[in-house]
Structure 1
Amino acid sequence: MGRTILKWMILSSLFCYITFVTIWAHGESERHTCNGIEVAITRAGSADTITRNGVLYELSRYPRKIIGCPVKDINTLEVKNYLGRFSNFEEVNCVLRTDGILCVTVTPMIPALRVFDGGKSYYINKDGKRIEAKANFFVDVPIVSGNFTDRFRPHDLLSVVKFITSDPILNKLVGMIEADDADNIILIPRIHGHVINLGDTTRLPEKRRALLAMYRKVMPYKGWEAYDTISLKFEGQVVATRRDKSRLNHGEDNGDDIALEEATLPQLQ
């Protein structure tokens, strides 16, 4: 009999304790508020500060107040889904710490190039996935413009962009790329006065050697504004179109050819 009474006394005490803790925790959650937001970037990069500021800006536009809001009223899943709707992130996670800080961890999508397609502008990553071009998530990457179709897509140019950015000379030379179509990829140099018609995406090392040969053997003598277009489309030659068509005599060829074999310069490779 005594053991039964003792058992009930212990159970009653536990029930009272649990009730007290529950009421206390509810009161604490009412009293505690979110004290701030911390943003962590899982992929370290040069654009981390821009990404972090962009996340904070978007959270400032969240439909409900976050900082200063009671902790119990913050739904971390809703915050995660709110940020996850942007194509700029591969993954988003949100956790509330015990000190009232909302920790947001994002894995950013890494753009490979920026596309201007008619009146549209967006980024694509190395897999060709489209990323929204939001001003608060600006990334400095190569620029490509053109009128793209299902048969000629922006990520068809990724091999050209990678070739240019990995080459110290071309990376400094080329300002942007304009793609008229798959067979007329135009490089716009930072040197004003001419453009470079790369043709298609094939034979890139060979075309690089031909272009540098043109710059080394012809341009210093003819002048950097003598031609409006340097074409690398044709195998074995460089075709340079004269800028001043009035100087051409009747029947004169409208371009200067350089044999690619003669133009190859090993020291510039």
Structure 2
Amino acid sequence: MRSNRRDISGVTVRFEGADNLYLTESTVNKLLIQKFGSLRNTPKDAIVLDTVESVLRTHEMVNNAQVYLTVDGQLITKITQRHPIGRVAGDTQFYLDDEGRKMPLSPNHSARVPIITGKITGKSLEDAYEILKFINEDPFLSKNIIGIHIEDETDYRLRFRLDNFVVRLGDVTDLKSKFDNFKAFYAKASQDKTLAHYEVVSLEFDNQVVCTKI
């Protein structure tokens, strides 16, 4: 009878740096069993760790995987999941992840991210990704923006969580300037309690905020 020190005594799945599980421990174990059979009691020297890592990285929810063996025979798999930052709601639905790649929806968890609607093309998704990256780096914007609507590739419109007006962003040039101007407007209008008076807030014009009242 072989010693557990030379055989795999079990498989442990760990998810790194993520509170939201878009895949589960059961899913990871099932993938390993499909590719390698039951790993328990398999001789440790029969397992090529790089191959196991490569198999895990093929899963559409996995960004990275590290695999190693402990002295007592545990096969440890450390999984870093992909991170969605926007959700496309069209004829087909999917996430955009933080690297701008398409990511499928998960049956295990639904991410609370801005919804992308309208004319979905390769170019408009690239632009939406640039907008989402900027939003994610700003606490005020990431808290308040819930949607990006694409009229066309020069007309992006933003929806806010608690406000009824639409922000017309225009194209994706000068995002920092546009959002700085918007935040200054928002702070002043909040102070004056006039936010509810506006239907459209346009950032399309150079260094200006142009508002249309209801």
* Aligned counterpart for 2:211 among listed residues 218, 240, 244: 240
Q: Which residue of 2 aligns with 1:208?
A: 179
Q: Which residue of 2 aligns with 1:54?
A: 23
- Counterpart amino acid of 1:103? I
User: Structure 1 residue 131 and structure 2 residue 103: aligned?
Assistant: yes
Determine the C-alpha separation between the residues in 2 that align with 1:208 and 1:94: 43
Q: Which residue of 2 aligns with 1:154?
A: 125
- Counterpart amino acid of 2:98? N
Cα-to-partner distance string for 1:57-115 (whole Å, 9 max, x where unaligned)? 21343437647x43249974575454232133344344444523122133x36536223
* Aligned counterpart for 2:198 among listed residues 227, 248, 267: 227
Q: Which residue of 1 aligns with 2:62?
A: 89
User: Structure 1 residue 192 and structure 2 residue 163: aligned?
Assistant: yes
The alpha carbon displacement at 1:156 in A equals: 2.3
Q: Which residue of 2 aligns with 1:247?
A: none
How much is the aligned-residue C-alpha RMSD, in angstroms?
3.7
Larger RCO: Structure 1 or Structure 2 (Cα < 8 Å, ≥ 6 residues apart)?
2
Q: Measured at CA, do residues 222 and 131 of structure 1 come closer, stay the same or move farther in structure 2, by a change above 3 Å?
A: closer
The alpha carbon displacement at 1:56 in A equals: 1.5
Determine the C-alpha separation between the residues in 2 that align with 1:209 and 1:95: 47
Aligned length: 207
1:187/1:195 contact within 8 Å kept? yes
User: Structure 1 residue 181 and structure 2 residue 155: aligned?
Assistant: no
Q: What does 1:23-172 correspond to in 2, within 5 Å?
A: 27-28=1-2, 34-40=8-14, 45=17, 47=18, 49-50=19-20, 54=23, 56-61=25-30, 62-63=33-34, 66=38, 69-72=40-43, 76=47, 79-106=52-79, 108=80, 110-111=82-83, 113-118=85-90, 119-126=92-99, 128-136=100-108, 142-150=114-122, 152-172=123-143
Question: Runs ≥4 in structure 1, deviation > 6 angstroms?
Answer: none
The TM-score with structure 2 as length reference comes to 0.71
1:29/1:72 contact within 8 Å kept? no
2:114/2:145 contact within 8 Å kept? no
- Counterpart amino acid of 2:94? S
**SS at 1:86 equivalent:** coil
Indicate the structure (1 or 2) with the bigger Cα radius of gyration: 1
Cα-to-partner distance string for 1:191-244 (whole Å, 9 max, x where unaligned)? 23212111111122332343244435557668433332212112254333333x
Which segments of 5 or more consecutive residues in structure 1 lack a partner in the other structure? 1-26, 244-269
Identity %: 25
- Counterpart amino acid of 2:181? A
Cα-to-partner distance string for 1:15-69 (whole Å, 9 max, x where unaligned)? xxxxxxxxxxxx3179x8754322356xx63x1x545x935221343437647x4
The TM-score with structure 1 as length reference comes to 0.59
